[in-house]
Amino acid sequence: MIVPWEEYEMSGWRIAGYTELRELGAGAQGRVVLARDDASGHPVAVKYLAADAGADDRERLRHEAQMLARAESPHIARPYRLVESDAGAALVMEAVDGVSLKTLLAEHGALGPEAALSVLKGSLLGLAAAHAVGVVHRDFKPANIVVPADGRSRLVDFGIAVPAGRATGGAGTPAYMAPEQWTRHQATPATDVYAATCVFVECASGARPFGGDLAELRAAHLTAPAPVERVPAPLRPLVATGMAKDPADRPAGTAAFVDELEHAARAAYGDDWEQRGVRALAGASAALAALFPLAAWLAGGGAAGAAGAGAGAAGAGAGAGAAALGKTAAAAGTAKGFMGGIAGIAAATVGTAAVVGAGAVIVVRAGGDDPKPRSVSASPVALVKPVGCRTGESPSEPAGSSTPPATVRLPRHVTLPAGTAVYYTQDKQLVVGPAGARCEKFQGAANSSVNIGPDSMHMVSVFNVASYGSIMDAQCAYFPDSPEAAKARRERPDCGWRPRTSEKLPGTKVRATLTTEPPNGTTPGGPFTSATLATMAGGLPVSLTCAMPYDRRNVCVAAFTHWYAQAATPADADLDTAARQIAAFVARARYA
């Protein structure tokens, strides 16, 4: 798609269409500024390359945009677009309103075991999303983690990330570099696990695992035992395994380490350890709200109208400590309230790159190794051409009876991962599923279903109940606390079945529940995801089930978010919150 030059024209180091508000940081590679998107009014972070940046620097920035676009997670700051011209290059990203973990540690010292565990868990979940698409961060450290006023940490910099297994030349920050970064210079997910454990030790104890000059740090990381004595006894096995010298002795993967962390934390601090840890982080972050990127903008009236809606939110999250925060906590509440309403800005442009040349801009997807031009919308929603469901086995067969509309609007909360498409079923439903797959309808007396995918472990399926008994079963299983389920149980005390786990999504007019249920049929050799999103309007439940290998779970995230966004109305449901909840739930819906 060719976009008029005026839309992306750069003047000096400023991209047209964005008003710079303040500088967030600067260094040899360039600077990061807080800016306002003039079209939407939303804040963004813009990472500008230095004026003397060369071809290698540009390639690293392109690579970072691709890495961020592929590693979709609520624990990672989102990229919006990459803009390049003869004058320079810049990456437009989500503005995470909070303070860096480095600043928190400098101000408060040790954060306590529960808060440290919360940081470690959020970090590992963000890294797991990157590892799932074959990306190793390589430079995990407190400066690259931001803690917003809600206390949930986010990764914000993938500047030197590389594909797993690549020889890397030993880049990283010495205080957190794994032994293999000092010797073999090879990056693996275990490398990030080591760095995350080092940060955990620092959060729990207030000091880095090892000190000294470069030679002393090298010797310590290569030969010194893990400093398990720095953390409480129940947590020492986490440090011992996470900082094992041999990568093979560390946890099998980031997700496996999360499981170990959860078990240790519950055993030591109870089932509500995470809520207490997040509250402690929220309080520590809110106490420094004057340093939030949006603080100056809000103080100057840049978010007029948002202040009233958001005031006090951070103070409430910080718990009893809020009383001592005064005006600072109120400012944090304003910032959180404002940011909470705009999370996931313009998903249509997430992972896109605007490459400038010959007076025009070509907008391309930055989600793969070799992105190809594609048409996108400059509005907060994307226009996508849906695929008609094929009635036969061969991908080359025509759509048959399900001729799709020319385009559909993809909600801004939905980003299609590589290898997915929007399908138009025979029942005139829009469903996200694996690209190039069969789309088959099965009709029975009690129900009907539409299955999209090549097999039982690469499939998205819509299940419509039709008989009275199957409707009652679905009401009791997915919505056990509903009036409909209560009525069904009066008629049938054994109504329904019990899903493995379940969570409600926001909204009342269209009710929705996420569940995990073991799949039917053959399972793959490795970890996989199997989850269901059930919605109910007017007492009629409909379920969408997704089964994927764990490294393709983002297909399920997109499918569920799209399905829920179609069913819910903005006036009734908080779609931003729902999108984050869906992504987190799918990340936990893991089977061995």
Marked catalytic residue, from 37, 56, 97, 139: 139
Q: SS3 letters for 370-410?
A: CCCECCCCCCCCEEECCEECCCCCCCCCCCCCCCCCCCEEE
Domain match, 70 and 217 both? no
Number of domains in the chain: 3
**SS3 category, 174:** helix
Of 133, 120, 349, 418, whose CA–CA distance to 243 is shortest? Answer: 120
* AA letter at 337: G
Residue at 370 is within a domain: no
CA distances from 122 to 126, 154, 226 (A): 6, 7, 22
3-class DSSP state for residue 114? helix
Domain annotation covers residue 64: yes
Cβ partners under 8 Å of residue 169, min gap 6: 185
> Do 14 and 69 reside in the same domain of the chain?
yes
The CATH number that applies at residue 78 is 3.30.200.20
Find the Cα–Cα–Cα–Cα dihedral 571, 576, 580, 583, rounded to 10°.
80
79 with 139, same domain: the answer is no
Confirm whether 369 is domain-assigned.
no
Cα 247–Cα 146–Cα 193 angle in degrees, nearest 5: 5
* First-to-last C-alpha distance (Å) of the chain: 43
Q: Is position 339 within any domain?
A: no
Measured in degrees and rounded to the nearest 5, phi and psi for residue 272 equal -100, 25
Three-state secondary structure call for residue 282:
helix
Is 455 catalytic? The answer is: no
Give dist(CA 278, CA 144) in Å, integer. Answer: 18
User: Which residue, 317, 336, 353, sits at the end of a domain?
Assistant: 353
Given CA atoms 158, 99, 126, 303 in this order, what sign does their dihedral have?
negative
Tell the burial category of 491 from Cβ atoms under 10 Å away from its Cβ (0-12, 13-18, 19+): exposed
* Strand partners of residue 547: 459, 530
Is position 359 within any domain?
A: no
Q: Which residue segment(s) compose the domain that 91 sits in?
A: 2-95+346-353
SS3 570: coil
Q: Which of 270, 286, 302 is the last residue of a domain?
A: 286
The pLDDT profile of the chain, 592 residues, written as one tens digit per residue, is 223 333 333 335 677 788 888 777 666 567 788 888 887 777 888 888 877 777 877 877 777 777 667 666 777 777 778 887 777 788 888 777 778 888 889 888 898 899 999 988 888 888 887 777 677 777 788 888 888 877 888 887 665 555 554 545 556 788 998 898 888 766 788 888 899 899 999 999 999 999 999 999 999 999 999 999 999 999 999 999 999 999 889 887 787 888 889 889 999 998 889 888 888 888 887 777 666 666 545 444 443 333 222 223 233 333 323 222 232 333 333 222 222 222 222 222 222 222 222 222 222 223 333 222 222 222 334 578 888 886 544 444 444 445 778 888 887 788 888 889 999 888 788 999 998 888 888 776 567 788 998 887 889 999 988 677 888 888 999 999 889 999 988 888 888 877 778 899 887 677 899 998 766 655 666 889 999 999 988 788 999 999 999 889 999 999 999 999 888 766 556 788 888 899 989 988 888 7
Predicted structure pTM score? 0.49
Question: Does 122 fall in a domain?
Answer: yes
Q: How far apart are CA 197 and CA 249, in angstroms?
A: 14
Note the pLDDT of residue 329: 31
Tell whether 58 and 117 lie within a shared domain: no
- Which tokens sit at 259? 């499981």
Do residues 538 and 452 share a domain?
yes
Domain C-terminal end among 286, 308, 331 = 286
187 and 267 share one domain = yes
Is residue 9 within a helix (H) or strand (E), and if so which, with residue range?
none
237 and 103 within one domain: yes
Which tokens belong to 271? 């089932």
* Tokens read off for 233: 């006894």
Residues 402 and 545 in one domain: yes
What distance in Å separates the CA atoms of residue 205 and residue 197, rounded to the nearest whole number?
A: 12
Strands 352-357 and 79-85: parallel
The Cα 488–Cα 471 span in angstroms is 9
Helices assigned H by DSSP within 270-394? 273-286, 295-299, 306-310, 313-318, 327-340
User: In this structure, are 419 and 492 located in the same domain?
Assistant: yes
pLDDT value of position 13: 60
Q: Is 203 in the same domain as 90? A: no
Tell which residue, 331, 338, 285, 288, has the closest CA to residue 309.
338
Q: Which residues contact 176 (CB under 8 A, 6 or more apart)?
A: 139, 140, 141, 194, 195, 198, 199, 208
Are both 38 and 186 inside the same structural domain? no
Residues 46 and 67 in one domain: yes
Residues 417/350, Cβ–Cβ less than 8 Å: no
CATH code at position 169: 1.10.510.10
Rounded Cα gap, residues 24 and 95, in angstroms: 10
Q: Is residue 326 part of a domain?
A: no
Pairing of the two strands 43-49 and 88-94: antiparallel
Residue 504 lies in a domain: yes
